């Protein structure tokens, strides 16, 4: 050990400091300038001198003088432990030396209260100690706090008892030895003890401190329902923020905002998208105080946490969110260097790797190599011996990166992935880390499902076994999103092993959970749409599975459940008064209000009895669905036989369904069971190529597109095998309804050319005297055919708003006008957006044309445009 001064210089400095403490009664404003002027002496040399001087001095002075010296020694320990400059590690060693020497005089028998206070101080120093084994330090801290509590009883010293209970709880939260679950239960019990004394009324600031600490313990709690623990944590953080306001306690306010954000990120109840937006808002609140200049370490912590929230964010563009996450991680690493903060550096390297693994922008292969490099960086610090849990986390993450790796041999990468997952499972046992165990079992199953080496049958057995392991923890109630993910993967494994009935059961259960989650979304159609996009693959696999089981009707019903659900619900809401009898409509409205109230109670954490409210909510939804289904079953209640009853005997429906590997065409008539036709994967690839060529030509070379349209449609007819499918229609069919799927909606399918014996041009619409029409789905068609419109006599039309249409108007608007008793038609130069949606002179907001607002039918004879990247930005051209 090297020191920067001679023993005599250290001794003189120590005596100066003790004299300053004695004269100023331990005033930091007097003592700290002296320490700052002698930073070169705040090292291990000072600790040695304190040890030697204290032992020698206390042994030879009178008892009364010894007591006085111990007061100064304890004050020195307190001051140097909190001193922000110099070596933190050396300062804490000096503080520990001060306390331990003071205890030679401050015995329990002679000075019980002082002994307890010093035990408490010594515990705090060991809690923060940098040197020595962290696990040993925390054991010492816990022992010293428990010593203090032998004197600091609730009856004799209630305030000190409460403070020590709070501090002991912190040590239990950090404890490495013992069962993690037991340690957290002990911590929660101690915090609750402290709150018996630290009430809001008597000790508001201490109450807020312990509320924040208790929230941390609930957030990390292993026992009990994870869902309930997080709700308790959030409630405690909000309690703390009632006292920790930005104005009164800006630093504590920022700390609690950061902690609350972490809880929102992990929250299970409520809508995931809302929870993440709340988390991001809280992190940004914290960063208003935790600036890089004022609090660099805390700034880096919150930057890291904010990055995690952006990585998981649902709203906004996923690619943008990941770029924001990567930027925040790099910010954090500016402060969290390997030399200064090795543990935090490793954590942020692990998190940055996660972001690179998921990154959308940049080359995928490069992103994965960056991820693997960052994971390996993290493992330099996160060794199994020193940080077993973190080592397991990074092993799991590294395994995922190897599983997805593009560079290197695929077989080798998968073997590396399996080895890393198995490493993680050595630490992630079901008993100690059930959630992480389940996650790793799920990931290991994915790796085995892709494995190249080994027997395929053996690999699939491992896959299925691992998914079943994961589902023991990933239940519908506790982890609904993970439950869906694992069930979907299990269904794929059963499909690959040709166990179709088991695949059906897995997909069916997963779909039920998806639709249950969808009903819980309050924030609007964007979140519902993203949920639908995420799990559309689940419905596609279910359709394929049903067809394998010869359950054509059920396959078609699942296909319908996956289509335009938001639009179905919006039209149902708008037209409910025309679909349901008035008394039923009133009852449905009341049920919807009750459902919304209960949903808001749960999602805002206001439900006093969560399980009771959740059960009532389930009952209310069941009542609503049963009542609604009596008149119009939609969504999960859609039934094909009810729809078939709305068709006449001369009408057939031709519905396409694209799965991503092939496409199906379902034939629906009034009387017969539905039939279907299935393409080959090659047909599907040809369809994609045709659609891309058609669309690119349409956008970039409109004249070429026009000249080649007939040939293009002939090719499409061949790819779709339209003539082969027409043979499945009954001979009596004279009207056809087309229900395209996905991009097929963009093409004029009714004009597909059909071969005939006379070699005359014949198109699909020529074959059906009753006409060919389109519908988005069977459900919407059923709604349109069910609704009653006794008052349908007001037309609002836009006619030829652009000059290129003037000569193409063959009288469509005039013919349609004859069907209505009242009409308002904006034609040519008068057909403008400003006429349709005029600006109110007073409010300067857009309003509707007065006749538009009261029209029963809208008809637009104009151009439109479609945005394939963002369909909601498509529109009509006026």
Per DSSP, 202 falls in state: T
Encode pLDDT of 421-437 as tens digits: 999 999 999 998 998 99
Question: Among 878, 864, 785, 859, which Cα is nearest to 818's?
Answer: 859
Q: Scan for tokens 């179709």, then name that residue.
A: 500
Q: The tokens of 571 are what?
A: 């039209």
pLDDT > 90: percent of the chain: 71
| Nearest to 512, CA basis, from 659, 634, 635 | 635
- The pLDDT score that the predictor gives to residue 274 is 93
Q: Which two tokens stand for residue 673?
A: 């069971």
- The CA distance from 508 to 541, in Å, is 10
- b/e code 632-641 from CB counts within 10 Å (16+ = b): bbbbbebebe
Q: Looking at residue 329, what is its pLDDT?
A: 98
pLDDT higher for 185 or 59?
Answer: 185
Domain ranges (residues) in the chain: 1-105, 336-473, 581-630, 636-786, 794-877
Contacts of 599 (CB under 8 A, 6+ apart): 520, 522, 617
- Most confident among 409-418, 555-564, 779-788 (mean pLDDT): 409-418
What's the mean per-residue pLDDT of the chain?
91
Q: Is 403 exposed, middle or buried (0-12, 13-18, 19+ CB in 10 A)?
A: buried
Higher pLDDT, residue 638 or 372: 372
Question: Residue 606 has what pLDDT?
Answer: 62
Residue 526 has a pLDDT of 63
CA–CA gap between residue 299 and residue 288 (Å, rounded): 10
Check residue 601 and give its pLDDT.
72
* 826, β-bridge pairs: 798
For 128-172, write each residue's pLDDT tens digit: 999 999 999 999 999 999 999 999 999 999 999 999 999 999 999
Residue 491: the pLDDT is 97
Mean pLDDT of 176-185: 93
Per-residue pLDDT of 149-159, as tens digits, reads 999 999 999 99
- Decide if domain 336-473 falls under CATH 1.25.40.10: yes
Residue 760 is predicted with a pLDDT of: 75
Please tell me whether residue 319 adopts helix, strand or coil conformation.
Answer: helix
| Dist. CA 82–CA 95, nearest whole Å | 9
Mean pLDDT computed over 484-508? 96
Least confident of 365-379, 552-566, 733-747: 552-566
> Is 860 in contact with 800 (CB distance < 8 Å)?
no
Q: What average pLDDT score do residues 451-473 get?
A: 95
Whether the Cβ atoms of residue 303 and residue 355 lie closer than 8 Å to each other: no
Name the least confident of 48-62, 516-530, 822-836.
516-530
Q: Per-residue pLDDT for 579 more than 80?
A: no
In residues, how long is the chain?
Answer: 878
Cα within 13 Å of Cα(866), Cβ side: 9
Q: What pLDDT sits at residue 608? A: 67
d(CA 460, CA 434): 23
**Lowest mean pLDDT, pick from 336-350, 736-750, 791-805, 840-854:** 840-854
Q: What is the mean pLDDT of residues 257-281?
A: 95
Residue 2 has pLDDT above 60, yes or no: no
pLDDT of residue 841: 78
Higher pLDDT, 615 or 220: 220
**Do residues 771 and 558 touch, judged by C-beta distance below 8 A?**
no
**Mind listing the pLDDT tens digit for each residue in 536-555?**
899 999 999 999 999 999 99
298-307 pLDDT, tens digit each: 999 999 999 9
* pLDDT at residue 299, as a whole number: 98
Give pLDDT, residue 837: 87
Across 394-413, average pLDDT: 96
Residue 445 has pLDDT above 80, yes or no: yes
Q: For residue 666, which of 567, 771, 740, 773 has the smallest C-alpha distance?
A: 740
Token duo for residue 743? 């991009």
Residue 701 in tokens: 């070379």
Phi/psi for 103 (5° steps) reads: -70, -15
Predicted confidence (pLDDT) at residue 583 exceeds the cutoff of 60: yes
Q: What pLDDT does 375 receive? A: 98
Closest C-alpha to 314, from 267, 354, 277, 356: 277
Measured at the CA of 249, the angle between CA 246 and CA 250, to 5 degrees, comes to 50
CA 370 distance to own-chain centroid = 23
Give the tens place of pLDDT for each residue, 713-770: 999 999 999 999 999 999 999 999 999 999 999 999 999 999 876 777 799 999 999 9
Q: What is the pLDDT of residues 499-540, one digit of tens each?
A: 999 999 999 999 988 888 776 665 555 666 666 677 889 999
pLDDT at res. 603: 60
Which residues does 39 contact at the CB level (< 8 Å), separation at least 6? 85, 86
pLDDT of amino acid 567: 67
Is 231's pLDDT higher than 60?
A: yes
pLDDT (average), residues 692-711: 93
What mean pLDDT is predicted for residues 10-38? 93
Q: Nearest CA to 443 among 411, 418, 474?
A: 418
β-strand 794-799 against 735-739: which pairing, if any? unpaired
- Render pLDDT for 590-623 as a digit per residue (tens, 0 to 9): 888 888 787 777 666 666 676 787 788 778 888 8
């Amino acid at each position: 050990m090297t020191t920067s001064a001679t023993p005599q210089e250290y001794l003189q400095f120590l005596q100066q400091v003790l004299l300053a403490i004695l004269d100023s009664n331990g005033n930091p404003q007097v003592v700290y300038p002296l320490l700052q002027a002698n930073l070169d002496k705040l090292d291990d040399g000072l600790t040695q001198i304190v040890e030697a001087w204290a032992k020698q001095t206390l042994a030879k002075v009178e008892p009364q003088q010894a007591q006085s010296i111990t007061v100064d020694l304890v004050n020195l320990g307190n001051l140097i432990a909190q001193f922000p400059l110099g070596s933190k590690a050396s300062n804490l060693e000096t503080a520990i030396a001060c306390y331990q020497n003071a205890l030679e005089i401050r015995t329990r028998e002679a000075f019980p209260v002082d002994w307890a206070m010093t035990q408490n101080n010594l515990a705090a120093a060991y809690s923060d100690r940098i040197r020595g084994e962290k696990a040993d330090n925390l054991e010492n801290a816990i022992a010293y706090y428990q010593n203090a509590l032998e004197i600091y009883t609730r009856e004799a010293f209630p305030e000190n008892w409460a403070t020590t209970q709070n501090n002991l709880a912190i040590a239990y939260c950090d404890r490495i030895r013992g069962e993690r679950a037991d340690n957290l239960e002990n911590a929660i019990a101690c915090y609750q003890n402290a709150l018996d004394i630290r009430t809001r009324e008597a000790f508001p600031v201490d109450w807020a401190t312990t509320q924040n600490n208790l929230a941390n313990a609930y957030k990390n709690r292993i026992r009990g329902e994870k869902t309930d623990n997080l709700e308790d944590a959030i409630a405690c953080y909000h309690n703390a923020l009632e006292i920790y306001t930005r104005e009164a306690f800006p630093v504590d306010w920022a700390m609690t905002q950061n902690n609350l954000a972490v809880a929102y990120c992990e929250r299970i109840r409520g809508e995931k998208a809302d929870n993440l937006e709340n988390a991001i808002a809280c992190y940004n609140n914290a960063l208003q105080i935790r600036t890089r200049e004022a609090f660099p370490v805390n700034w880096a912590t919150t930057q890291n946490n904010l990055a995690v929230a952006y990585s998981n964010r649902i709203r906004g563009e996923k690619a943008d969110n990941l770029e924001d996450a990567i930027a925040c991680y790099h910010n954090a690493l500016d402060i969290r260097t390997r030399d200064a903060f090795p543990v935090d550096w490793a954590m942020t390297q692990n998190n940055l790797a996660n972001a690179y693994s998921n990154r959308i922008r940049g080359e995928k292969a490069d992103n994965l190599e960056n991820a693997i490099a960052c994971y390996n960086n993290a493992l330099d610090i996160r060794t199994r011996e020193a940080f077993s849990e973190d080592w397991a986390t990074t092993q799991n993450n590294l395994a995922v990166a190897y599983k997805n790796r593009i560079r290197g041999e695929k077989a080798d990468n998968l073997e590396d992935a399996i080895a890393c997952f198995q490493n993680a499972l050595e630490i992630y046992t079901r008993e100690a880390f059930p959630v992480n165990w389940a996650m790793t079992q799920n990931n290991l199953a994915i790796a085995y499902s892709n494995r190249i080496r080994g027997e395929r049958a053996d690999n699939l057995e491992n896959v299925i076994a691992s998914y079943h392991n994961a589902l023991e923890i990933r239940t519908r109630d506790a982890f609904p999103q993970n439950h869906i993910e694992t069930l979907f993967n299990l269904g794929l494994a059963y499909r690959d092993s040709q166990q179709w009935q088991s695949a059906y059961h897995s997909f069916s259960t997963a779909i039920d959970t998806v639709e249950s989650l969808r009903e819980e979304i309050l924030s609007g159609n964007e979140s519902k749409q993203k949920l639908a996009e995420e799990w559309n693959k689940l419905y596609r696999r279910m359709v394929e599975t049903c067809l394998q089981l010869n359950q054509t009707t059920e396959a078609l019903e699942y296909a319908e459940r996956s289509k335009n659900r938001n639009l179905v619900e919006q039209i149902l809401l708008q037209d409910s008064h025309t679909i349901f009898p008035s008394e039923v409509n009133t009852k449905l409205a009341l049920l919807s209000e009750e459902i919304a109230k209960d949903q808001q109670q749960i999602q805002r954490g206001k439900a006093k009895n969560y399980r009771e409210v959740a059960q009532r909510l389930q009952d209310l939804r069941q009542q609503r669905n049963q009542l609604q289904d009596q008149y119009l079953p939609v969504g999960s209640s859609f039934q094909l036989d009810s729809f078939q009853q709305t068709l006449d005997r001369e009408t057939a429906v031709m519905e396409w369904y694209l799965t991503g590997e092939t496409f199906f065409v379902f034939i629906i008539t009034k009387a017969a069971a539905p039939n279907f036709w299935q393409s080959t994967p090659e047909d599907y690839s040809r369809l994609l190529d045709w659609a891309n060529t058609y669309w690119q030509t349409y956008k970039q070379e409109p004249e070429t597109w026009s000249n080649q349209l007939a040939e293009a449609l002939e090719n499409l007819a061949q790819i779709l095998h339209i003539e082969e499918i027409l043979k499945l229609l009954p001979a009596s069919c004279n009207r056809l309804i087309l229900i395209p799927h996905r991009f097929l909606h963009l093409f004029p399918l009714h004009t597909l050319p059909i071969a005939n014996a006379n070699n005359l041009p014949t198109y699909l619409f020529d074959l059906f005297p009753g006409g060919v029409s389109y519908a988005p789905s069977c459900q919407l068609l059923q709604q349109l055919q069910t609704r009653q419109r006794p008052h349908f006599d007001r037309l609002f039309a836009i006619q030829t708003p652009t000059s290129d249409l003037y000569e193409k108007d063959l009288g469509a608007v005039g013919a349609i006008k004859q069907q209505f008793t009242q009409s308002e038609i904006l034609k040519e130069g008068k057909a403008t957006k400003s006429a349709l949606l005029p600006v109110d002179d007073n409010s300067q907001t857009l309003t509707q044309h007065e006749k538009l607002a009261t029209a029963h039918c809208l008809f637009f004879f104009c151009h439109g445009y479609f945005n394939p990247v963002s369909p909601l930005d498509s529109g009509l051209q006026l």
